[in-house]
């Protein structure tokens, strides 16, 4: 399964006072050719993503032959998230960044705040930004300016085993849709029916991951209940993460655990092998199921919604392209970023790498040529996708969120969820204050 790994050293850029990054330094990672730009990416050219990327780059070089040329350096990440980020951070320190880099979406604020990236707004006036999913624009915007253009999207849904649902007497007519999702109460009723049938936990929420997946997949419960992690400016967590709405969502998650619906230590590949009838997971799980567990007849359902608001919210986020402040070739760099995030380029990346599109026009082009689960996630992004919080101290904030989920998992030791939220909100606030020199 794909791991959501966030590299916390990004925030060290701000702690290190790299506000001078906007000054031009050693240009060794840029070309002397006035039309040639260098691009660093975090994957290998031998992967599906690498093959799709190279096709996009080749198309750009062909269209702008004689004017611009993009040259890619492939720098795969290590399992811990290093490798690529290590090289980027070293280049920031020595002011030797290339013209364009890829970055993980939640790191946008840290890079923008430390002046690693140039705003893209003035170069996108003639681009069809209305066609871009709101989640992509949200993810790439910091302090009102757009710095990072996501070139792919992702989402999470409720995977369900059709055979096991039928065995528990749950009919297709009872299943939720994007227009009529289950409320939390309705969803809990379904889990109870499954639990009675199988006499065991039934919904793997991936609690054992203890990583970025918890933040990514669990925040929609908070948002649906009217809660939040930080304010819109990304500067305040006290009064937000410990609000009654957020605590209410955390209480619902704890209730699912207390009722034995959710395994604290799930069996590995439990859904894939027919142990659990439900799994909370991302679009990447489809490839694993189709390739290695073809006997599992499954579908994907939208997130349940708070009884209070009835608001459907789903998680989004992926890697993005940014123009560095080190480049002297802004026009060429911006032209490449626009090209790599166009309707056709998004189609190439989506179909080639089994990821979700970033544009409505791309979804319209391919939604009838992809599996039903992929189509559902695409449409879920259109109507309810929301990026993770744009905050300079994102890695620390995310870790505090993950720890709070671990806290409430042990409900006997931590029955007071308000106290848990108060403690973690203060931790988040301190991290933000430290980085913003408050």
Could you report the per-residue pLDDT of 290-345, keeping only the tens digit for each?
Answer: 999 999 999 999 999 999 999 999 999 999 999 999 999 999 999 999 999 999 99
Average pLDDT score over the chain? 93
* DSSP E strands, 97-252: 100-104, 141-142, 145-146, 149-150, 156-161, 203-204
**Segment 144-157, tens digit of pLDDT:** 999 999 999 999 99
**Confidence at residue 3, expressed as pLDDT on a 0 to 100 scale:** 52
Q: Specify the range with the lowest mean pLDDT, choosing from 16-30, 83-97, 391-405.
A: 16-30
Q: What is the pLDDT of residues 357-370, one digit of tens each?
A: 999 999 999 999 99
Positive or negative: CA dihedral 299, 205, 385, 359: negative
Give the CATH H-level superfamily of domain 156-314+392-436. Answer: Periplasmic binding protein-like II (3.40.190.10)
CB contact burial 284-311 (16+ within 10 A = b; e otherwise) = bbbeebeeeeeebebbbbbbbbbeeeee
pLDDT, tens digit, 9 for 90 and up, residues 114-172: 999 999 999 997 668 999 999 999 999 999 999 999 999 999 999 999 999 999 999 99
- Give the span between the Cα atoms of 137 and 386, in whole angstroms: 10
What is the pLDDT, as a whole number, of residue 437? 86
Q: Which of 75-84, 192-201, 425-434 has the lowest mean pLDDT?
A: 75-84
List all residues 6 or more positions away from 195 whose beta carbon is below 8 Å from its beta carbon. Answer: 201, 202, 259, 260, 261
Give the start-to-end residue ranges of the domains of the chain: 36-154+317-387, 156-314+392-436
The token pair that represents 16 in the structure block: 């290190």
Cα(220)–Cα(336) distance, rounded to whole angstroms? 33
| pLDDT value of position 430 | 98
Mean pLDDT of the region 8-36: 55
156-314+392-436: same fold as 36-154+317-387?
Answer: yes
Length of the chain measured in residues? 438
Residue 11 has what pLDDT?
43
Taking the CB of residue 180, how many other CB atoms lie within 10 A of it?
11
**How does pLDDT run across 220-267, given as a tens digit for each residue?**
999 999 999 999 999 999 999 999 999 999 999 999 999 999 999 999
Q: How confident is the model over 25-47, as a mean pLDDT?
A: 82
pLDDT value of position 1: 38
Predicted TM-score (pTM) of this structure: 0.92
CATH class, range 36-154+317-387 = alpha beta
Residues 6+ apart with CB under 8 A from 421: 241, 242, 246, 247, 250, 404
At residue 423, the pLDDT reads 98
């Amino acid at each position: 399964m794909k791991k959501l790994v966030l590299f916390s050293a990004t925030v060290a850029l701000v702690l290190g006072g790299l506000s001078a990054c906007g000054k031009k330094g050693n240009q060794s990672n840029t070309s002397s050719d006035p039309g040639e730009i260098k691009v660093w990416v975090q994957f290998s050219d031998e992967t599906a993503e690498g093959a799709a990327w190279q096709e996009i780059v080749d198309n750009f070089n062909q269209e702008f032959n004689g004017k611009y040329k993009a040259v890619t350096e492939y720098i795969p990440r290590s399992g811990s998230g290093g490798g690529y980020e290590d090289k980027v951070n070293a280049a920031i320190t020595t002011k030797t960044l290339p013209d364009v880099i890829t970055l993980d979406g939640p790191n946008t604020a840290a890079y923008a705040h430390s002046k690693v990236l140039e705003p893209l707004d003035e170069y996108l006036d003639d681009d069809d930004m209305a066609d871009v999913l709101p989640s992509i624009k949200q993810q790439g915007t910091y302090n009102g300016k757009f710095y990072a253009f996501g070139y792919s999207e992702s989402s999470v849904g409720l995977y369900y085993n059709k055979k096991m649902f039928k065995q528990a007497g749950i009919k297709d007519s009872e299943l939720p849709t994007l227009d009529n999702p289950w409320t939390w109460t309705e969803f809990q009723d379904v889990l109870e029916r499954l639990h009675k049938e199988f006499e065991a936990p039934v919904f793997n929420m991936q609690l054992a991951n203890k990583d970025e997946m918890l933040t990514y997949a669990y925040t929609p419960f908070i948002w649906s209940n009217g809660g939040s992690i930080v304010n819109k400016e990304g500067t305040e967590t006290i009064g937000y993460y410990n609000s009654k709405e957020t605590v209410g969502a955390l209480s619902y998650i704890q209730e699912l655990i207390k009722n034995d619906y959710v395994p604290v230590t799930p069996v590995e590949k439990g859904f894939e092998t027919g142990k659990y009838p439900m799994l909370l997971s991302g679009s990447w799980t489809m490839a694993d199921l189709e390739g290695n567990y073809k006997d599992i007849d499954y579908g994907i359902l939208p997130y349940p919604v708070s009884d209070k608001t009835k608001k459907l919210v789903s998680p989004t986020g992926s890697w993005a392209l940014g123009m560095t402040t080190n480049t002297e070739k802004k026009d060429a760099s911006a032209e490449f970023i626009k090209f790599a995030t166009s309707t056709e380029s998004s189609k190439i990346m989506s179909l080639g790498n089994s990821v979700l599109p970033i544009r409505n026009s791309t979804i319209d082009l391919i939604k009838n040529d992809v599996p039903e689960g992929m189509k559902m996630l695409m449409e879920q992004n259109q109507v309810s996708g929301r990026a993770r919080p744009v905050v300079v101290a994102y890695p620390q904030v995310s870790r505090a969120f993950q720890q709070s989920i671990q806290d409430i998992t042990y409900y006997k030791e931590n029955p007071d969820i308000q106290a848990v939220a108060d403690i973690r909100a203060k931790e988040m606030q301190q991290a933000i204050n430290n980085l913003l020199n408050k």
